[in-house]
Structure formats: C-alpha cells, structure tokens
Amino acid sequence: MNYPPKLNNIINLFQTLPEDERRETLVSYADAAKKQEPKPGEHFELEDVRKDQECADTVGVYLHVDEQGKAHFRMTLGPEVQTLTRAMTAILCKGLDGATPQEILDLPSDFVTRIVGAELVRVRSQTTYYVLSRIKGICKVWLDRQRMAAVA
C-alpha cells in the first residue's frame, strides 16, 4: 500500500521509535493539536461538528478541497477529548494534507497500529481509530455530493 507521502513520513518516523519515545512523540503531536484549528478567513466546503458516543467530547472536522482536488483539514476538539485522540488529530491533519478525498477514503486503517503501537491500539482501539473514521466520513460526504452534482 502506498500511503500519502506526508503520512508515510510520519509512519516511518514512529516505526523507528522505541516505546518510550513513541509515547513522547505522541504527546508532542497531542500538544500540537490546537494548531489544527480553523484560522480566520479560511473557507471550507464541509464542516462536521458533533459529539459522538465514541468520544468524550465534541470533535469538529472542517474540509477544504482546493482547485487540484486536494483535501486540507482543520479540526476542533472539546476540552475532554483524550490525549491519544488529540495526537491522532495532529498526525492525520498533517499526514493526509494534500491527498485526494478518494485516496483518503480508500486508505486502509492498518497504518494506525504502526504509528500508535500495538499495545495502545489494543487497550484503546476505539480512541485510536475515531479521528480517522471522522475524516473518512467527511470525505465520503464530499465525494457523494460531487457525484450527485455530476449527474444533476
């Protein structure tokens, strides 16, 4: 599987790390999650802000698709969102930036284990996959609308 280049770089980074440094790096990404919030003046084709059963607080996903069909994401996280979810937010916003919505939708989720590590996935599987499912969800809505517009 060829992952988007930016995501591939992140996967390769995490795969070289011993467990303690993997945790430190996840925490560094979690610290950076706030930088993924929408900036003033930014435009989005889709916004999906909601509180799901699977997550401890509200998570917002904002999608902009540029003229080249490349996706760019912003996300907002409520204060109760857990550290691992924050980390995955920063990782995926950066790693999937510039991929197409279809590429993201087709992405297998196996890379999550390679980033987070099997142990954290085992004990927090719902948490680790939640952000990816939300990003895929907004990409699917965007693609469905494009298809509907094309046949209209």
2 binds other proteins (CB under 8 A): no
Task: Assess 82 for contact with other proteins (CB under 8 A).
Answer: yes
**CB closer to other proteins, 82 vs 100:** 82
Binds other proteins by CB under 8 A, chosen from 12, 123, 144, 147: 123
Q: How many residues bind other proteins (CB under 8 A)?
A: 21
Q: What whole-number distance in Å separates Cα of residue 22 and Cα of residue 50? A: 30
Looking at beta carbons only, is 47 or 54 nearer to other proteins?
54
Tokens of 4: 């988007």
Say whether residue 71 binds other proteins (CB under 8 A).
Answer: no
Angle between helices 83-95 and 125-151 (to 10 degrees): 40
* Helix extents (H) in the chain: 5-15, 19-31, 83-95, 101-106, 111-116, 118-123, 125-151
* Residue 87 in the binding site for other proteins (CB under 8 A): yes
Q: Are 137 and 33 in contact (CB under 8 A)?
A: no
Q: Which listed range, 26-34, 36-44, 101-109, 136-144, lies at the site for other proteins (CB under 8 A)?
A: 26-34
For the chain, report the end-to-end CA distance as a whole number of angstroms: 34
Please, which residues have CB within 8 angstroms of residue 119's CB and are 6 or more apart in sequence?
19
Indicate whether 21 belongs to the interface with other proteins (CB under 8 A).
Answer: no
| Structure tokens, 84 | 């691992």
CB 149, min distance to other proteins, A? 35
Interface positions with other proteins (CB under 8 A):
23-24, 26-27, 30-31, 51, 53-57, 82-84, 87, 119-120, 123-124, 126
